Structure 1
Amino acid sequence: MIARYNKIVFLIGALLCTNAYANAQTQQTLAFQGAEGYGAYAQGGKAGDIYHVTNLADSGKGTFREAVSVPGRTVVFDVSGVIKIKDKIAVSPNTTISGQTAPGEGIVVYGNGVSFASNTIVRYMRFRGSINMSKGACTVVLDNLNDLIMDHCSIQWGRWDNLHIKGSSNITLQHCIIGEGIDPQRFGALFEDPKNITIHHCLWIDNQSRNPKAKAGIEYINNVVYNYGVNGFVGGHSAADHYQDIINNYFIAGPNSSTKFIGMFTATDHVYHSGNFADLDKDGVLNGRPVVDSDFVSATATLLSKRSNESPAGVKIEDAASAYKSVLANAGASLNRDAVDLRLIGYLKSLGTSGEIFKTEEAAGGQAELNVSKKKSKKSKMKNQNTEAEAR
């Protein structure tokens, strides 16, 4: 009887160990090669169906709106161009959006906002709002969700903020462009109490303020903030405690910039900072000075001697000058940058001499049509299949 009991205990123990190992393996599976930060383990639609976007219409069969309306899909693109949307799009959970599968210049979703849900992977997409949205609208909303990564995306022309994140956790934004917020606020991003947020190697450009406003637990690494207006990186300055790790970023003043590359911190903002630089002379040369404790003390932040946030899938950290070069080369939907992103990168290259905080997207030049094309060749088909395989 004892031997039988011991055998049962052994089998149960073995089963529990096997399940624990399987769960650990699942937790450690990266969204894709190169995924970093807190959102790196999102799995998206890998277990579900593949949906091909075949046209640029706002709704109906073969459209982006239809593609993301059902959870558990990997969305690929057989067409490139501008998808003009009148109403907001709500992306279902457990979704992978593989913008890198589009031919030509890729995809722009233009005209209104897009909201996302838990367990989502988004790569090489452009999301641009419009002055025709409601006054308080943001271009991209990541509220009340878990496990999401946005990689090489361009987010512009939000009316309140370009990007909004509230009450979420395990989020990564990497190699993205967040820029050109438009009237009435012209702000970059508002983070309202999210936890475990990684923002790395992103370009924040031509926003009046909030690059971002970080009421958050955030690791903010290797970003470039260019031509901020009133403020660059903004603290939470609220009654709640927030923990911001600000590491090896480059703050570069442009034509519209004040001297406040950081600001609006209070004692409830607990800041660890290291390796950051600020170039404030607008002389066309990258020659910034180190950011020091007094820059944050003058903003009344509480300074810490060690990091509060460090994601399991850690970010490969560069020095600030190297991060500038990486952002210049790779930020946004950079497989084929379109005219808007090329213009923004041109501003950044000027290192202080060009750039503008616009009131509308039309004042900035508007959204031009992209080079529309469909996949026809065997080579393109093979590329699409390879990307589908990677997404799984």
Structure 2
Amino acid sequence: MAAQRPYAHVDQTLRGLAGQAEGFGRQAIGGLHGAVYHVTTLDDDGPGSLRDGCRKTEPLWIVFDISGTISLNSGLRVLSYKTIDGRGQRVKLTGKGLLLRECEHVIVCNLEIEGGRGHDVDAIQIKPNSKHIWVDRCSLSDFEDGLIDISRGSTEITISRCHFSNHNKTMLIGARSCDIIDRSIGVTVHHCFFDGTHQRHPRVRFGKVHLYNNYTRNWGIYAVCASVESQIVSQCNIYEAGEKKLVFMHLIEQAPDKEVGTCGSVRSEGDLLLNGAGTYVTEEANNDQSAFKVEEHYESCSVEPATAALVELLQQSTGWQQIVIPMENAQ
């Protein structure tokens, strides 16, 4: 399986990761043109801490010289042009999460983020007006609110090869039916493993969302929810039902500048439905052909058929990965 590890061709060099995202977040470069910042302490703050690197205004490629757990006493604000690169170490963030607010060009790679507590505390919160974001190979679980929330005009975002577990409200894209600014949202979610999480894989308002080659199993309410004006393309995903069988839920909500409420649209292409999973469509659901065409927004991605082999791969190659520390001086 090692030969199948994603991005093995770039993991030997530090900055080779930049520009490797597929989909809406493909332009994210993180701290490509900045210096390397070394995290040398697991303290929440102070010289050599992750927080100290994330709040600096200049571009930085942040790496870790140590493994361990960083207990965050407050949300960790990440400024623009930062790469938080956990490759080569095993770093866990707990207590609070990452705040990507009004920033651009941020890459977050190969971290564990779990055990967050407090009102409106998400593992990764992307709002408002953030863009060119890539979250890759992270393990996220057990937060009081969401694991990934994307809203208030944030767009050009890719979530890839992440493992989501032990959680209720997993991924929210577009938080409120009154936020018509979220009509600009574009998000790609691919090769992720939603491992028994309860709901929101994702739940979407307004935005355009491309889901491909994800594995979602044993959800508690529904797999994917399309609400007001959302457009979802579900392509070659595996949906394996447990007790609950509903894959796509269509939920009516009303935008403030419209006279009637609407739900979203879902176009399913090549999805594999297992264990009685059903794509029940209510009469309120829009014609699925109204969902956007991916090729009008970016070139086709490396989509592979939804097969049992893909299920096995995603079980082994999502979330935090044991990776040799990339060479720092190689570009």
- Deviations, residues 279-298 of structure 1 (Å, cap 9, x unaligned): 125xxxxxxx7x66xx3356
Query: Given the alignment of the two structures, is residue 57 of structure 1 paired with residue 27 of structure 2, yes or no?
Result: no
- Deviations, residues 200-259 of structure 1 (Å, cap 9, x unaligned): 0001123221111012211111111112101111112x2xx22111111111123xx412
State whether residues 270 and 301 of structure 1, in contact with CA within 8 Å, keep that contact through their aligned partners in structure 2: yes
- Whole-Å separation in 2 of the counterparts to 1:150 and 1:73: 16
> Match of 2:164?
178
- Whole-Å separation in 2 of the counterparts to 1:200 and 1:87: 30
Q: Closer, same or farther in 2 for the Cα pair 1:307/1:387, shift >3 Å?
A: farther
State whether residues 30 and 41 of structure 1, in contact with CA within 8 Å, keep that contact through their aligned partners in structure 2: no
- Deviations, residues 138-197 of structure 1 (Å, cap 9, x unaligned): 12101120101111111222212211000211100110112322xxxx211110035221
Query: Given the alignment of the two structures, is residue 188 of structure 1 paired with residue 170 of structure 2, yes or no?
Result: yes
- Deviations, residues 92-141 of structure 1 (Å, cap 9, x unaligned): 11101111032xxx1111111211231111111122233xx223321210
1:33 Cα offset (Å): 6.7
Query: Given the alignment of the two structures, is residue 203 of structure 1 paired with residue 193 of structure 2, yes or no?
Result: yes
State whether residues 199 and 220 of structure 2, in contact with CA within 8 Å, keep that contact through their aligned partners in structure 1: yes
- Whole-Å separation in 2 of the counterparts to 1:217 and 1:161: 20
- Whole-Å separation in 1 of the counterparts to 2:230 and 2:290: 15
Query: Given the alignment of the two structures, is residue 134 of structure 1 paired with residue 125 of structure 2, yes or no?
Result: no
Q: Aligned Cα RMSD in Å?
A: 2.4
> Match of 2:248?
262
Q: Closer, same or farther in 2 for the Cα pair 1:180/1:32, shift >3 Å?
A: same
Secondary structure at the counterpart of residue 194 of structure 2: strand
Supply the AA of the counterpart residue of 1:163: I
1:32 Cα offset (Å): 3.3
- Whole-Å separation in 2 of the counterparts to 1:189 and 1:306: 20
Q: Closer, same or farther in 2 for the Cα pair 1:320/1:305, shift >3 Å?
A: farther
State whether residues 217 and 309 of structure 1, in contact with CA within 8 Å, keep that contact through their aligned partners in structure 2: no
Q: Which has the larger radius of gyration?
A: 1
Structure 1 unaligned regions, length at least 5: 1-28, 282-288, 337-379
Q: Closer, same or farther in 2 for the Cα pair 1:121/1:39, shift >3 Å?
A: same
State whether residues 244 and 308 of structure 1, in contact with CA within 8 Å, keep that contact through their aligned partners in structure 2: no
> Match of 1:328?
315
Query: Given the alignment of the two structures, is residue 107 of structure 1 paired with residue 98 of structure 2, yes or no?
Result: no
**Alignment equivalent of 2:68, drawn from 66, 81, 86:** 81
State whether residues 58 and 86 of structure 1, in contact with CA within 8 Å, keep that contact through their aligned partners in structure 2: yes
Secondary structure at the counterpart of residue 245 of structure 2: coil
- Whole-Å separation in 1 of the counterparts to 2:31 and 2:274: 42
- Whole-Å separation in 2 of the counterparts to 1:94 and 1:175: 22
1:34 Cα offset (Å): 4.2
> Match of 2:202?
212
- Whole-Å separation in 2 of the counterparts to 1:334 and 1:31: 15
- Whole-Å separation in 2 of the counterparts to 1:177 and 1:96: 20
Higher helix share: 1
- Whole-Å separation in 2 of the counterparts to 1:388 and 1:153: 25
- Deviations, residues 29-58 of structure 1 (Å, cap 9, x unaligned): 985374211112211111112110011111
Secondary structure at the counterpart of residue 219 of structure 2: coil
TM-score using structure 2 length? 0.81
> Match of 2:105?
119
Q: Closer, same or farther in 2 for the Cα pair 1:306/1:218, shift >3 Å?
A: closer
> Match of 2:131?
146
- Whole-Å separation in 1 of the counterparts to 2:30 and 2:173: 23
State whether residues 265 and 285 of structure 2, in contact with CA within 8 Å, keep that contact through their aligned partners in structure 1: no
> Match of 1:250?
238
Segment drifting more, 148-157 vs 327-336: 327-336
> Where do 1:1-392 residues align within 5 Å?
32=18, 34-71=20-57, 72-102=59-89, 106-116=90-100, 117-130=103-116, 133-143=117-127, 144-166=129-151, 167-181=153-167, 186-192=168-174, 193=182, 195-215=185-205, 216-236=207-227, 238=228, 241-254=229-242, 257-266=243-252, 267-280=262-275, 295-297=280-282, 300-304=285-289, 307-310=292-295, 311-321=297-307, 322-335=309-322, 383-384=325-326, 386-387=327-328, 389-390=330-331
- Deviations, residues 321-345 of structure 1 (Å, cap 9, x unaligned): 1432331121111226xxxxxxxxx
- Whole-Å separation in 1 of the counterparts to 2:126 and 2:264: 22
TM-score using structure 1 length? 0.69
> Match of 2:4?
none
Structure 2 unaligned regions, length at least 5: 1-14, 175-181, 253-261
- Whole-Å separation in 2 of the counterparts to 1:388 and 1:219: 35
